[in-house]
Amino acid sequence: SGIEVRVKSVDVLTSQRDVGAKVALWDGQRQTLSYPQSFSTSASPHPQAEKFTALDNFFSQAFSAEPYHKNFNFFWKTVAIMSKITVAGVRQNVENLLNYSLNEKKRNFNETVELQIGLKNYDPQRDKRFSGTIKLPTVPRPNMAICILGDQHDLDRAKHHNIDAMSVDDLKKLNKNKKLIKKLARKYDAFLASEGLIKQIPRLLGPGLSKAGKFPTPVSHAEDMAAKVTDVKSTIKFQLKKVLCLGVAIGNVEMEKEALVANLMLAINYLVSLLKKGWQNVGSLVIKASMSPPHRVY
């Protein structure tokens, strides 16, 4: 009963409808125990949420049986659904939030849903400040303002897709003026730049876009511009700065419930994987629409 088992690896393989999990456990005596399992999810417009549910059920059942729950202590680090939160709990909070925003206090605009994170046992001055991006299954903010910094080919493509764009000459006219560049950074949520132009951005604009956390994402002529814009809109960034709190947009109140649940679960999973001590660094997780009261997930 004193044996300590650690998770050696967790592999999760997913297709459009199926999800498989294989867990390798290390029992401290040079033995590896495998626990393979696979699931099938029904034909659903949001299979991602069903995958989270299936995995959640599998891990809770597999490790509640004898002798595991009495003899072994498990240490989950990167798979959030195995430990501190459940899909059912997250879904209930999402339902409460949507009910308030869509029924009790409906606004005349599409409210953004934000995940607000409070960290603990972390010293931004001494510990490494993490930074990471992840693409969510559903675009959280469809009305994000995007600007293309492009060559002539990409300027034409941007015009075709009705996307704002600026040429090299437009950038030169800013003359590295800090106020103008700061104004540009505030005007748009994200930037793309032609692949051949990306190296010129620091010379043309200085460090302004980088300081704002909005350095352009490169786009090649071979890439579909509309798809690239969707990728940028789907990507969220976690970045620890000087304070132990941060927030990211993970959806909006016009999304379907299961799509919002899937975005939220993936965002939380990824956040925990970035933290030095995993869940030990998580103080609180709250979801909040623009005008709604907060709903504490953890």
pLDDT for residue 80 is more than 50: no
- Higher per-residue confidence, 61 vs 298: 298
* CATH number of the domain where residue 210 is located: 3.40.50.790
pLDDT for residue 110 is more than 50: yes
Whether residue 274 lies inside any domain: the answer is yes
> Do 44 and 112 fall into the same domain?
no
Domain count of the chain?
3
Please give the residue range of the domain that contains residue 95.
87-130+240-296
Identify the domain boundary among 232, 261, 288.
232
Residue 75: predicted pLDDT: 30
Cis amide bond preceding 294, omega within 30: no
How is the beta sheet containing 295-296 ordered, strand by strand? 245-252, 112-119, 282-289, 295-296
Condensed to tens digits (0 to 9), the pLDDT of residues 210-259 reads: 999 899 999 999 999 999 999 999 999 999 988 899 999 999 999 999 99
Give, as one character, the DSSP assignment of residue 13. Answer: E
Strand stretches in the chain, DSSP E: 6-14, 18-26, 32-40, 112-119, 131-135, 146-149, 164-166, 190-194, 217-219, 235-239, 245-252, 282-289, 295-296
> Do 120 and 249 fall into the same domain?
yes
Residue 201: predicted pLDDT: 95
Whether residue 245 lies inside any domain: the answer is yes
Residue 49: predicted pLDDT: 56
Beta bridge partners of 37: 21
- Higher per-residue confidence, 58 vs 214: 214
Residue 221: predicted pLDDT: 97
User: What would the two tokens of residue 114 be?
Assistant: 């934000």
Identify the domain boundary among 184, 206, 232.
232
Give, as one character, the DSSP assignment of residue 63. Answer: T
Whether residue 137 lies inside any domain: the answer is no
Identify the domain boundary among 181, 215, 232.
232
Whose tokens are 């709903």? That residue is 295
Model-wide pTM > 0.85: no
Residue 23 identity: V
